[in-house]
Amino acid sequence: MQRLKDKVVLVTGAGAGIGLATAKLFAAQGAHVYITDIDGDATVTAAAELDAQGYDVTAVPVDVSLGQDVNALMHMIDSKHCRLDAVVNNAGINVRCDFRNMSDAEWVKLREVNLDGVIRIARDAFPLLKASGRGSLINMASIMGARGMRTLAAYGATKGAISALTRGLAVEYAPYNIRVNALAPGFIETGLTERVLKIKAFSDTLLEQTPLRRFGTSEDVAQAALFFASDESPFITGAELAIDGGMAAAL
Ligand SMILES: NC(=O)c1ccc[n+]([C@@H]2O[C@H](COP(=O)([O-])OP(=O)(O)OC[C@H]3O[C@@H](n4cnc5c(N)ncnc54)[C@H](O)[C@@H]3O)[C@@H](O)[C@H]2O)c1
């Protein structure tokens, strides 16, 4: 059985990593997937691969930090499908830095993508999620939104805000039967973490702090997104699900 049969879904940051795995899984589960990313070539490559497998996808280059990109995207979806059944608000970046030396430009860039972009998508997708009658908005938070780690204070601040946004929107969108939930990945092997996980001493320490003794895969996160996007979670809203191998639960 296809768990997203005939649903219309949007995934941001779907050109790589968690977003790409989510787009692939959702397409295989019968959804029409809007594959969007700031990297237009990556969206075209992903869409071509899925199209060749007979899946139903549309590639759209979108920078979530630009209002005009998001506006144009929502108009396109409205004209083609008139609704969104699920949105995976996933696009994000990381700027690792000593907080004391972080430049204004570094902070603004981080905020514009991780916070302003997520807020823009959550706001501008509202009419299409409402039109669904059973919309699901899934925001990508992080284990770092509730914990501290050197060089990740600013990143963690943006992710903590996503957790708060999720709770607020769960209440605000509930009258429209739109569920709003967050995913909080731990350490997942993607381009975002590739460089730092190659530092053996660092990755060994992280693995010691992870009860399941491995890093996550993009597919691990995609499966959790599928649960929230599907009709299998109709009474769950305002929740945050950790996908971290038990890291947040451990001492
Ligand atoms: N990898 C992890 O360990 C981890 C842990 C917790 C949370 N997350 C979050 O998961 C999400 C996905 O991360 P990932 O690990 O797959 O990273 P990734 O770098 O592999 O993929 C991120 C994608 O987002 C795209 N992107 C970047 N800026 C964009 C913009 N302005 N507009 C549209 N697309 C943009 C990139 O081109 C890329 O394709 C992020 O929000 C990240 O913060 C990741």
Mutate to test the pocket of ligand 1, among 63, 190, 203 (most ligand atoms within 8 A of CB): 190
Mean pLDDT of 136-152: 97
The finding on whether 185 has its CB within 6 A of some atom of ligand 1 is yes
Residues 3, 226 contacting (CB under 8 angstroms):
yes
Confidence of residue 11 (pLDDT cuts 50, 70, 90): very high
Residues 170, 138 contacting (CB under 8 angstroms):
no
Confidence of residue 8 (pLDDT cuts 50, 70, 90): very high
Q: Say what the pLDDT of residue 37 is.
A: 99
Mean pLDDT of 125-146: 98
40-52 and 17-28 helices, crossing angle to 10°: 30
The finding on whether 19 has its CB within 6 A of some atom of ligand 1 is yes
Let me know how long the chain is.
251
The finding on whether 142 has its CB within 6 A of some atom of ligand 1 is yes
pLDDT in tens, 217-235: 999 999 999 999 999 999 9
Q: Say what the pLDDT of residue 251 is.
A: 80
Type of residue found at 190: T
Q: Which atom of ligand 1 is nearest to the CA of 15?
A: 39
Q: Which atom of ligand 1 is nearest to the CA of 64?
A: 32
Mean pLDDT of 101-114: 97
Strands 8-11 and 86-89: parallel
Residues 189, 215 contacting (CB under 8 angstroms):
yes
- Answer whether residue 58 shows pLDDT above 90: yes
**Assigned token pair, 163:** 């957790």
Q: 39 to each of 15, 36, 205, 212, how far by Cα in Å?
A: 7, 8, 33, 33
Q: What whole-number distance in Å separates Cα of residue 129 and Cα of residue 9?
A: 10
Residues 72, 78 contacting (CB under 8 angstroms):
no
pLDDT in tens, 153-185: 999 999 999 999 999 999 999 999 999 999 999
Q: Which residues, 6 or more positions from 80, have their beta carbon under 8 angstroms from its beta carbon?
A: 58
Q: Which residues are catalytic?
A: 155
Mean pLDDT of 125-152: 98
**Sheet containing 8-11, strands listed edge to edge, beginning at the edge strand earlier in sequence:** 57-61, 32-37, 8-11, 86-89, 136-140, 179-185, 240-243
CATH superfamily of 8-249: NAD(P)-binding Rossmann-like Domain (3.40.50.720)
Counting residues of the chain whose pLDDT is more than 90, the rounded percentage is 99
Q: Which atom of ligand 1 is nearest to the CA of 221?
A: 10
pLDDT in tens, 24-35: 999 999 999 999
Type of residue found at 119: I
